Structure 1
Amino acid sequence: MRVVVTGATGNVGIAVLDALAAEPEVTSIAGLARRRPDREKAGVEWVSADVRHSDLETLFRGADVVIHLAWSFQPTRQPLETWRTNVGGTERVLEAVAAAGVPALIYASSIGAYSPATGDDPVDETWPTEGWPGASYMVEKAYVERLLDLFEHRHGECRVVRMRPAFLFQDASASEQRRLFAGPFVPNRLFRTGPLPLLPYPRRLRFQTLHTTDVGRAYAAAVVRDVHGAFNLAADPVLDRAEVERTLGVRTVAVPQRTVRTAVAAAWHLHLVPANPGLFDALLHLPVMSTRRARAELDWTPRIAATDTLRQFLDAFRRGAGGPTPSLAAEAGGTARHREISSGIGARDPVDE
């Protein structure tokens, strides 16, 4: 079985490659990335490619499965640029999958595609996917869901799987995720896993997370099993204020959401952080996902608890840990690079998811 992976060098990509390499049915793996890694990876053929303009049909020909992970988070101040990669690039992937006659497509959707929810009752994969209108990431994820609806209608012969994971973390992604969401002006010591004097915590904030190695296993299971449709992916427990206190050994103080949003918006307008306040709004309205379908049909269960994932990631964040690919390298960013992103200069190329 030959599998082609777009965005193969990112946070999810490297975990997916490892999981695929462990599957006996997978005999050939092509890892597509805009920036080809210097080092080889056992069992993986690196291919330099950009979903915006490369000849994807030729690259996909002969594949049994295409896994589409490539996604750009920045520059958030230029949403047209991310749209060209995330929506336009995905349109080109879908066209190439159809033209090359690939039997199966697995797409990296997200919890961010889901419509807002106000309660804590877990939702299944039938929950509406209209996203949050104030954040480009959510709008683009929701729009691609509509592209997939149309693709399935036109190409019923292709098995389509949509993975909708919660927030994904691993040690190797710490530096990349700092560059994408926090920026270099947030001190490492703020995220140490030892006791903090007091941690401000937005009221009613709760979220789900998952270790990236576990999501890689889910993708590999979807490759070798005859499944289709959407799968929610998350680990227990749901992280709320009480759980964060227990996990990190800190005392928290509830802060009004409006206060936190005002602070985030001020930092955004001062170009101190690369993540806009719309992402914070979206975070507060995400549903809690049920993972019953993935556990049943993929025979998948997370091996790492959400609490352990959070604790390990914050320690890696503090240490400035990075990964072995250009996207994940610890030295790939910095203050100068952050200023380029914040001002809308540079950062026009895809960041592999």
Structure 2
Amino acid sequence: MKVVVIGASGNLGSAAVRALTADGAAEVVAVARRAPDGPRAYAQASVEWRVADVSTANLEPVVEGADAVVHLAWKFQPTHRPEETWATNAVGTRRVLEAVARAGVPALVCASSVAAYSPVHHNDPVDETWETDGASAAAYCREKAYVERTLDAFACNHPEVRVVRVRPAFVFQRSAASEQRRIFGGALALATAATTEVAGAFNLAGDGTIGRDELGELMGARTVEVSPRLASHGLDGAWRARLVPVPGSLLDAVMQLPLMSTARAELELGWQPRHSAMDALEAVLSGLPEKAGSELPPLRP
């Protein structure tokens, strides 16, 4: 089976490539905007690396002959140049879908996000039917919501393509610590979705929730209560002064994100989280002082 992974050098993409090649069943074409340049990046014989920018490249030759395309390419930064992230995240996704249709690829798996969900004001887990209008005005949320509408239209216009959208919670791994320090597990589910006859949306999240007390325990710090509005304004001011990389609107989103029910992924994909929410966050925090990373450009320390 031939699977094309677009955005293969990033946090989710690198993990998806590992999952797809673990048993040797899949031939993977790994697509990235920047090619890896270390010897270990090319160690897997079943992986062919190709360089392409989803916002500008002719993508039809890239996806031609694929049994499935897994689209994970995404730019979180630069938050001060939203036209640049829009070109990759919104326009780039539309261009991937157009190439999939023209090349006659029978299956598409696309990464959405918990940030695509509309705000909630309760602590009850939501399933995949919850509205996806974006959690706040942050560009990340707006672009994820746009991708959801693009996928809706594509699925309606191309019923011959099996379309899967995966909505993970925030994804952490130790090898992405350097990348996530600058910007902010569902790899097995992505691999299963690409190779199994399923369609629709799937929530992915680790067990447990992380609140103020849990963060304090993990970091060995005393916690204090701060008004979310005050914190948002303070973060936004620091972002405008270019002291921090994310705007206050992203904090607004985090404060309104739903807890997600993962029952459908567990039932239809046979997926179970390998790590709890605390395990995942502890992994990336422990990797920060050591500048953990890999030879893939987005994950390089």
TM-score tier (shorter) = over 0.9
The aligned residue for residue 161 of structure 2 is 158
CA distance in 1, matches of 2:152, 2:239: 35
CA distance in 1, matches of 2:86, 2:215: 34
After the TM superposition, which residues 226-245 of structure 1 pair with which residues of structure 2 at under 5 Å, given as runs?
226-245=197-216
The aligned residue for residue 3 of structure 2 is 3
Shift of residue 77 of structure 1?
1.2
* Offset from partner CA, 1:112-138 (integer Å, 9 cap, x none): 100000100000000000003420110
Amino acid at match of 1:260: A
After the TM superposition, which residues 75-86 of structure 1 pair with which residues of structure 2 at under 5 Å, given as runs?
75-86=78-89
Shift of residue 180 of structure 1?
2.1
Shift of residue 313 of structure 1?
1.2
Amino acid at match of 2:193: A
- The answer to which of 273-282 and 96-105 deviates more is 273-282
Q: Matched residue of 2:97: which SS?
A: helix
The aligned residue for residue 192 of structure 2 is 221
One of 279, 284, 296 as aligned partner of 1:313:
284
- The answer to which of 309-318 and 4-13 deviates more is 309-318
The aligned residue for residue 18 of structure 1 is 18
Q: Matched residue of 1:47: which SS?
A: strand
The aligned residue for residue 147 of structure 1 is 150
Shift of residue 24 of structure 1?
4.6
* Offset from partner CA, 1:240-274 (integer Å, 9 cap, x none): 22333444444322221123123212211211011
8 Å Cα contact 2:112/2:165 also seen in 1: yes
Structure 1 position 251 matched with structure 2 position 222 = yes
* Offset from partner CA, 1:186-238 (integer Å, 9 cap, x none): xxxxxxxxxxxxxxxxxxxxxxxxxxxx3111111112211110000001111
CA distance in 1, matches of 2:220, 2:82: 38
CA distance in 2, matches of 1:310, 1:97: 35
The aligned residue for residue 293 of structure 1 is 264
* Structure 1 spans left out of the alignment, 5+ residues: 182-213, 331-353
CA distance in 2, matches of 1:8, 1:262: 35
CA distance in 2, matches of 1:174, 1:66: 27
Shift of residue 312 of structure 1?
1.8
Q: Where has structure 1 moved over 6 Å in runs of 4 or more? A: none
Count of equivalent residues: 297
**Amino-acid identity (%):** 52
Amino acid at match of 1:33: A
Shift of residue 321 of structure 1?
1.6
With normalisation by structure 2, the TM-score equals: 0.95
Bigger proportion of residues as strand: 1
Q: Matched residue of 2:209: which SS?
A: strand
CA distance in 1, matches of 2:160, 2:25: 21
With normalisation by structure 1, the TM-score equals: 0.81
After the TM superposition, which residues 1-353 of structure 1 pair with which residues of structure 2 at under 5 Å, given as runs?
1-26=1-26, 28-38=27-37, 39=39, 40-42=42-44, 43-181=46-184, 214-330=185-301
8 Å Cα contact 2:8/2:73 also seen in 1: yes
Q: Matched residue of 1:118: which SS?
A: coil
Q: Matched residue of 2:224: which SS?
A: strand
Shift of residue 300 of structure 1?
0.6
Shift of residue 93 of structure 1?
0.3
Higher relative contact order, chain-length normalized (CA < 8 Å, sep 6+): 1
8 Å Cα contact 2:136/2:252 also seen in 1: no
Shift of residue 41 of structure 1?
3.5
CA distance in 2, matches of 1:271, 1:24: 45
How large is the RMSD of aligned CA atoms in angstroms? Answer: 1.3
Amino acid at match of 2:25: E
CA distance in 1, matches of 2:71, 2:173: 20
Q: Matched residue of 2:69: which SS?
A: strand
Amino acid at match of 1:36: A
Amino acid at match of 1:72: K
8 Å Cα contact 2:173/2:283 also seen in 1: yes
8 Å Cα contact 1:171/1:312 also seen in 2: yes
Shift of residue 289 of structure 1?
0.4
CA distance in 1, matches of 2:201, 2:127: 9
8 Å Cα contact 2:119/2:136 also seen in 1: no
CA distance in 1, matches of 2:206, 2:183: 23
8 Å Cα contact 2:110/2:166 also seen in 1: yes
CA distance in 2, matches of 1:249, 1:179: 22
* Structure 2 spans left out of the alignment, 5+ residues: none
